Amino acid sequence: MDSFYLKTIAIITMLIDHIGAVLFPDVIWLRMVGRLAFPIFAYLISEGYFKTKDVKKYMLRLFIFALISQIPFYFAFREGFYLNVFFTLFLGLYAIYKYDQTKNYWVVFGVGMLAYFLNTDYNIYGIIMIFLFYKFHDNFKRMAVSQVWLNLLYLGIPILVMFLRGGKMTPSMIGYQLIQGLCLISLIFINYYNGEKGYSLKYVFYSFYPVHLGVLALISYLK
């Protein structure tokens, strides 16, 4: 399976997820299918880092599409100050670029905290996921184990924090955390990746994100 097919799977599952989030928020299975999308995009960012001829141009391209996508993202989800996933992918790529220069894990943590405070989609969780795909790119077993641990922490830390504060997680909050664990299914597709590029539709894939959000925002407005 080449990167074209991986991207296609990611885009289809993302579209299903966003249809659920914007138009049918009570249809949970749409969101469940959508959990597969981000890990595939995150993995392809790490792969892109190793294959690109110019990482700075790669980062610039992600940043430009992050800016382009923000307006349709805002109108689709209407959640105040909340940055779209292109910002997360951009920061994740920047994190592995700076780590490669410094070999300092604190750089990754710092970028993750920046994503958290900027309130990017998936924020620090997304940055760490991208980094782990980069770190273990040549060892699928270690890559998969690291992603399992990341998702266990993603589930456990909010519960622990809530407990220490004397509060408690609602069933819906716990349910969302558990649903996110379905993202691990994406590892099945990643395992079949053969390292080949396949059909080159780079800007079609990039453009799909803001375009589909704009269409969903319009449909939501007309409902």
Task: Dump pLDDT digits (tens) for 184-222.
Answer: 999 999 999 998 887 777 788 999 999 999 999 999 998
- For the cut 70, the answer to whether the pLDDT of residue 166 exceeds it is no
**pLDDT category of residue 120 using cuts at 50, 70 and 90:** very high
What is the reported pLDDT for 20?
96
Q: Is 194 helix (H, G, I), strand (E, B) or coil?
A: coil
**pLDDT category of residue 174 using cuts at 50, 70 and 90:** low
Read off the pTM: 0.92
Segment 132-152 shows an average pLDDT of: 96
Residue 142 corresponds to which tokens in the numbers above?
A: 């270690």
What is the reported pLDDT for 223?
73
Segment 172-191 shows an average pLDDT of: 84
Residue 54 corresponds to which tokens in the numbers above?
A: 């110019």
Residue 219 corresponds to which tokens in the numbers above?
A: 């449909």
Instruction: Quote the percentage of the chain above a pLDDT of 70.
Output: 91
Distance between CA atoms of residues 29 and 170, nearest Å: 20
Distance between CA atoms of residues 37 and 7, nearest Å: 9
Amino acid at 100: D
- For the cut 70, the answer to whether the pLDDT of residue 169 exceeds it is no
Quickly count: other Cβ atoms within 10 Å of residue 67's Cβ. Answer: 13
Distance between CA atoms of residues 61 and 55, nearest Å: 10
Segment 27-43 shows an average pLDDT of: 96
What is the reported pLDDT for 203?
85
Rg (the chain; Cα; Å): 17
